[in-house]
Amino acid sequence: MDVLIVDDDPITRLALCAALEEWGLNPVVAESGNRALEMLEQDNPPHLLILDWSMPGISGPELCKILRARDDGQFFYILMLTGKEGNEAVIEAMEAGADDFLSKPFDHRVLKVRIAAGSRIVRLEQTLNQLASRDSLTQCWNRRMIDELFDSTLAEARRKGSALCVMMVDIDHFKAINDTYGHAIGDTALQHMVAILNQNLREYDQVGRYGGEEFIVVLPTTDRDSAWGIAERVRSAVEYQPSVLSDGREISMTVSIGLAMFEPKRDPDRRSLMERADQALYKAKRSGRNRIIVAD
Ligand SMILES: Nc1nc2c(ncn2[C@@H]2O[C@H](COP(=O)(O)OP(=O)(O)OP(=O)(O)O)[C@@H](O)[C@H]2O)c(=O)[nH]1
């Protein structure tokens, strides 16, 4: 687990780094509150912080308040490690948003158990986050999360004037797979389908499970032609890569795809774009399945 040490004193930073490494953690350092803030705004920041109180620029308590006021849903466990001591300092630090408080000089064994307690809370929070945002069968985003990601991707496309496409992907005659092989094998087929999607999409494309066998894929910075290419790659991969069971049986599937491109004047929000993708999917189903239809 990454642990961010925020301290302006190089000796303390070195000592903390050595201790954390010894305890199997991965220290990351910032020499000021301002630098820490920059680092915490990047992707995948550390979620466990050891924070000094008095530093040039943003102080420890100020940094706590800034992080607690953010509404990006990121969780940080903050241990304030400071030369200050006494109840007043504890109260001030924890009112600012610190989760724990330790005075310098500190006993290494006490820091170790406090960090262990913080790690447990960070892991618990990560588990909760995973449960709340992922579909438990396929591990792609669940409906609530993909809606949220879709909204923010759409807002960004509108702001930057960049392209955005969405595809609704639905397995053809999935009921027949369940009826023929049973529900458990139907589940395996759904997992296979998501694996194929992940293999054929880019890192920044987002896949969500929208209903039983219906998936939505949000394709940022993608124009209609590129989106068509991606959709065709997915469609043919599903057709030609059957799900192989442990006993060697192969479950063949096909998918129908409805594709729609974001048009700022026409699409005030996610719903109208999805409706067009949905209508295109419906046409794909009605006109024979195993095909892609692009919305008008
Ligand atoms: N195994 C499994 N089946 C599911 C799950 N969720 C939904 N289903 C099944 O998915 C099937 C969807 O069937 P329909 O909506 O009739 O669609 P279809 O058979 O795929 O037919 P078309 O979409 O018209 O090609 C139903 O039989 C549901 O029971 C799931 O999590 N696991």
Compute, in angstroms, the gap from residue 191 CA to the centroid of ligand 1.
14
DSSP letter (8 states) at residue 57? S
Percent of the chain with pLDDT over 90: 94
Pairing of the two strands 250-251 and 243-244 = antiparallel
| 285 domain-assigned | yes
Q: Are residues 198 and 113 in the same domain?
A: no
What pLDDT is attached to residue 185? 94
User: Do 236 and 159 belong to one domain?
Assistant: yes
Vertex 127 angle, CA 17 and 197, to 5°: 105
- Backbone phi and psi for residue 243, each to the nearest 5 degrees, phi listed first: -80, 125
- Indicate which atom in ligand 1 lies nearest the CA of residue 170: 23
Domain boundary (130, 161, 195) is at 130
The span from the CA of 231 to the CA of 197, in Å, is: 9
163/88 Cα distance (integer angstroms): 54
Catalytic residue among 92, 213, 214, 239: 213
Residue 138 inside a domain? The answer is no
**Structure confidence at residue 211 (pLDDT):** 87
pLDDT for residue 15 = 94
Q: What is the largest CA-CA distance in the chain?
A: 75
Give the structural domain span for 107: 2-130
Task: Note the pTM of the prediction, 2 decimals.
Answer: 0.79
| Nearest atom (ligand 1) to Cα of 256 | 25
Question: In this structure, what CATH number is given to the domain that contains residue 101?
Answer: 3.40.50.2300
99, part of any domain: yes
Q: What is the pLDDT of residue 73?
A: 80
- The segments of the chain whose pLDDT lies below 70 read none
Residues 27 and 48 in one domain: yes
Are 274 and 200 found together in one domain? Answer: yes
Q: Are residues 47 and 79 in the same domain?
A: yes
Q: Let me know whether 230 and 126 are in one domain.
A: no
Residues 63 and 152 in one domain: no
